[in-house]
Chain A
Amino acid sequence: MNMTLNRLPSITWYWLKMNNGSLEGVDPAEGLAIKDQVPANVSKSTLSMAELPDQPTGMGKDMTTLVTESKPQVQAYISDRDKEASDPVLLNFDYETGKRAVNAVYLKAQRGSTMTVVEDFSSAKDAEGFSAVQTRYEVEKGATLKLVQIQRLGSGYTFLNDIGGRVDDQGRIEMIHLVLDGGHTYLGVQSDLAGYASSLKADIGYRVKGDGTLDINYFANHTGKKTTCDIDAKGVLRDNAKKVFRGTIDLKKGSSGSVGNEKEDVLMMDDTVRNQTLPVILCTEEDVVGNHGATIGRLDESTLFYLESRGMDKESVYEMMADARVASVVHLIDNQAIRENVENYLAQNLDKNLNG
């Protein structure tokens, strides 16, 4: 099938060619065996796609069609009511080269519980292949779900990372997406903030190099009262990287008292990169606050001056700031073991190419 992916909820001029991403010739495929570690207070089960509640996702209908047609065993992880899961649920997606895999995951944080789920997508450095994962979530009243996604895929991998979920009263969803290595990555996230005082915190840290591409569609759908969202995307682009970030905050009528914040910070390292940004705010409710800001391009003069005045040459300043951007998002990972794992990976896989 030919897929339309990550389409903007509210499109704009066609000549910009930024309304959505697309992929041709994609066929359903079997899923890979996810290696998981399940802590106490979380129960694991398998479901079929039909058993899942209807939920629109960031990537769009075509992705849901692809996943449904692939007939995956949906891995479901549900936390016990009113319990805080002591350790994170670890899901390792170990992709091989030359393969295709489509998986589906369902996460549910039951009433009053707290659960952290880590989805670790990895493969060999120069692996090539195709993988798609759709993660649906549900956060019940008063619960908190933290989703940490770490992507370290080969430069030949096309990866469709689709998320969609709903948050109930006083519920909270926190997401950290780290796109550290990959080929052509698509990330689509829709969060329905339907419950009273439900909230979303999303941090995206990415680095794209070589001929890699990154296509992101983030959608915060505020329908409940006093809902909040904080979306922060920081990244570094070098070589011939291309990236598009579509971030939509929709403050729908009835969402009075809500606040939506969105920020993007893109550091462009080389002249051959291309950055596209569309920070969108849609609003049909009077009693709300919406903010978005974007900073794109090179380091600003005053920062460069300040750091150079301490003796660093321009290139080193840029490398330091590039590392800092991603590091600041890694820093947000609660779990020490996982955080250190990523920090070690970064230390050993410096983004700066051997070719400079």
Chain B
Amino acid sequence: MAEKTYVEDIDRSMYDFRYEEKDAYRIEEGLDPAIVEQISKEKNDPRWMHDFRMKSLEIYNHIQMPDWGPSIEGLDMAHIATYVRPNTKMANDWDSVPEEIKDTFERLGIPQAERKSLAGVGAQYDSELVYHNVQDFAEKLGVVYSDIESALRGPYADMIRDHFMKLVPPTDHKFAALHGAVWSGGSFVYVPEGVHLEIPLQSYFRLNAKGAGQFEHTLIIVEDNAYLHFIEGCSAPKYNVANLHAGCVELFVGKNSTLRYSTIENWSKNMYNLNTKRALVKEGGKIEWVSGSFGSHVSYLYPMSVLAGRGASSEFTGVTFAGKGQNLDTGCKVVHNAPDTTSVVNTRSISKSGGISTFRSAVVINPQAKNSKSSTSCQSLMLDSESRSDTIPAMDVKTQQADVGHEAKIGRISDDAVFYLMSRGLPEDDARALIVSGFADNVGKELPLEYAVEMNNLIRLEMKGTNG
């Protein structure tokens, strides 16, 4: 049953195209260069970016759709143009935002002022003020935190050019190519050598920037001996009428630096979240991923760490909650390319009410990664028999001098635990919700308090069943 998105009525013939070749596949799913040209023009791209977009488009039109993961047939690929057309997207008014989205805002206690922007119906809201305060603080330390589009023409233009989509090239997969062609908006962060930024930077502040976050590109460069904590997303559902999110996050971690990248993703339940996140870690550097995936209809999300320098390390802590109507394929990838590197993966996943959760991972230890260690622990909780939980981890070890360990467990909520909590006065629903919160604690305890509280609220909401 394919879902159709709501889009403005347009004369679609403008976007029909003809190709000489008889490749029917391309004709159906291709994207017209004219659209990309228009995007580039509107954004006033420097020449190289314009060329980059066009090249990405070509790649996009040639790559196959993935067939190993959840079905994305609900995405109207035949009219992909309508997702990317500049100034499309937003529902025109608050009234057309689905009830259940408004309902969730209510239950999560989201302030009125924020609701409209979260629903993509425009109107800036006061986070602007907070955002500017953070900016000032960061600026004093030499940290750059700005929107990426304007940074393309500022003093960091060359730096951005040297890094943009080098870590996630358009050839990586179809949606990386799409991103390369139509990306729009996003953050650019630069932390100079030796700087430790004590307060976390949050992308939430920039939620209402143009582009509505659909094809957002986040580029973070942390120089040597520095520290940054970046928080992306928020627990409130982000609703968008055009239901494709093909974002890209590229993180460069310098020598002996640490970058903590936390995400709570709660895209609304009509969204296809095809995100690509990758970190390149230099000698002695460390990337810490903290990831809570709660929303979207379909997700493909595997933050990837490339440990490129001696002693580099990666830590991934994640929780995925797949409820009714959701098919979340999440996990992580680590590639060890240097000696003495370490990776630790700790994930929890919960499936409920027919939701499908798949943990998919890859740990690759290349021959030069002598004395590397990797350990993965993934636990899955099945809350009923309509749901599904799959664990598909892969390990490829190409050197003897490595220690690779892996364990996975799947099970259900213990009746004894529920009984115990109920005997202390908790109603059954609350008992179960508490147990699941406890199960998701691996992520909860890594998040700043307000996010952890929001995450637990989300869990409670999902568990109580009223969120369907």
| A316 CA / B387 CA spacing, docked (Å) | 50
Contacts A269-B400, A292-B407 hold; do A286 and B390 have CB atoms under 8 A apart? no
Q: Which residues of A contact B384 (CB under 8 A)?
A: 286
Interface residues of A in 250-299 (CB under 8 A from B): 251, 253, 256, 268-298
Q: Is the CB of B297 closer than 8 A to any CB of chain A?
A: no
Known pairs A279-B406, A289-B411, A291-B409; A273 contacts B394 (CB<8 A)? no
Inter-chain contact A286/B392, CB cutoff 8 Å: no
Q: Could you say which residues of chain B place their CB within 8 Å of the CB of A278?
A: 392-395
Residue of A nearest to B389 (CB): A283
Which residues of the other chain, B, contact A253 by a CB distance below 8 angstroms? Answer: 385
Residue of A whose beta carbon sits closest to that of B408: A292
Given A13-B68, A286-B383, is A295 in contact with B392 using a C-beta cutoff of 8 Å? Answer: no
Q: Is the CB of B390 within 8 A of A280?
A: yes
Residues facing A in B380-437 (CB within 8 A) are 380, 382-385, 387-412
Q: Which residues of B contact A289 (CB under 8 A)?
A: 409-411
In the bound assembly, the distance between CA atoms of A297 and B373 in angstroms comes to: 9
Q: Mark B260-293, 1 if CB is under 8 A from A, else 0.
A: 0000000000000000000000000000000000
Cβ–Cβ < 8 Å partners of B383 in chain A: 286
Supposing A256-B385, A280-B391, A289-B410 touch, asked if A294 and B404 sit within 8 A by C-beta, the answer is yes
A335 beta carbon closer than 8 Å to chain B = no
Question: Chain B contacts of A283 at CB under 8 A?
Answer: 380, 382, 388-390, 410
* Pairwise interchain contact A297-B397, C-beta atoms closer than 8 A: yes
In the bound complex, do residue A274 and residue B404 qualify as a contact, i.e. CB atoms below 8 Å apart? no
Q: What does DSSP make chain B's interface, helix, strand, loop or mixed?
A: strand
- Chain A residue with the shortest CB-CB distance to B365: A297
For residue B409, which residue of chain A has the nearest CB?
Answer: A291
B398–A274 contact, CB under 8 A? yes
A269 to B380, CA, bound (A): 34
A16 and B406 form a contact (CB under 8 A): no
A: interface residue count bin: 35 or more
**Neighbour of A293 across the interface among B390, B396, B406, CB < 8 A:** B406
> Which one of A16, A256, A294, A295 lies within 8 Å of B362 (CB-CB)?
A16
Report yes or no: B408 in contact with A300, Cβ–Cβ below 8 A. no
User: A188 to nearest B CB, angstroms?
Assistant: 18
Q: Is A306 interfacial (CB 8 A cutoff)?
A: no
* Residue in B68, B367, B391, B399 whose CB lies within 8 Å of A281: B391
The smallest C-beta distance from B341 to any residue of chain A, in angstroms, reads 14
Tell me which residues across on chain B come within 8 A of A293, comparing CB atoms: 405-408
Is A341 close to B, CB under 8 A?
no
Is B394 in contact with A12, judged by CB distance below 8 angstroms? yes
Task: Looking at the assembled complex, report how far the CB atom of B222 sits from the nearest CB atom of chain A, in whole angstroms.
Answer: 27
- Assembly CA distance A290 to B408 (angstroms): 8
The yes or no answer to A18 lying at the interface (CB within 8 A) is yes
Contacts of A280 in B (CB 8 A): 390-393
Write the chain A residue with the least CB distance to B398.
Answer: A274
Q: Which of A14, A251, A296, A300 has the most CB of B within 10 A?
A: A296
Which chain A residues border B396 with CB–CB below 8 Å? 16, 18, 274-276
**Inter-chain contact B411/A268, CB cutoff 8 Å:** no
Determine the chain B residues whose CB is within 8 A of the CB of A285 once the complex forms. Answer: 382, 385
* Of A19, A279, A286, A298, most B-chain CB atoms within 10 Å: A286
Please tell me which one of the listed residues B68, B367, B388, B402 contacts residue A284 in the complex, with CB atoms under 8 A apart.
Answer: B388
Contacts known (A253-B385, A280-B391); A287 close to B412, Cβ less than 8 A: yes
Residue of B367, B392, B393, B407 touching A271 (CB-CB under 8 A): B367
Assess whether B360 is interfacial by the CB under 8 Å rule. Answer: yes
Q: Which residues of B contact A291 (CB under 8 A)?
A: 407-410
In the complex, what residues of A have CB within 8 A of residue B382's CB? 283, 285-286, 288
CB distance from A244 to the nearest CB of B (A): 9
User: In this complex, what residue of A is CB-closest to B359?
Assistant: A281
Contact of A10 among B380, B392, B410 (CB under 8 A): B392
Q: Which residues of A contact B397 (CB under 8 A)?
A: 268, 274-277, 296-297
Contact B409 A286 (CB under 8 A): no
If A278-B393, A291-B408, A292-B391 are given as contacts, then 10 extra A-B residue pairs at C-beta distance below 8 Å, sorted by A number, are A12-B68, A13-B68, A270-B400, A271-B401, A278-B394, A286-B383, A291-B409, A292-B408, A293-B406, A298-B400
Q: 23 A–B contact pairs at CB < 8 A?
A: A12-B394, A13-B362, A13-B394, A16-B362, A16-B364, A253-B385, A271-B401, A276-B394, A278-B395, A281-B380, A281-B408, A283-B380, A287-B385, A288-B382, A289-B410, A289-B411, A290-B408, A290-B410, A292-B408, A294-B395, A296-B403, A296-B404, A297-B404
Query: Which 9 pairs from chain A and chain B are nearest by CB?
Result: A290-B410, A268-B400, A296-B404, A293-B407, A294-B406, A286-B385, A297-B402, A286-B382, A271-B400
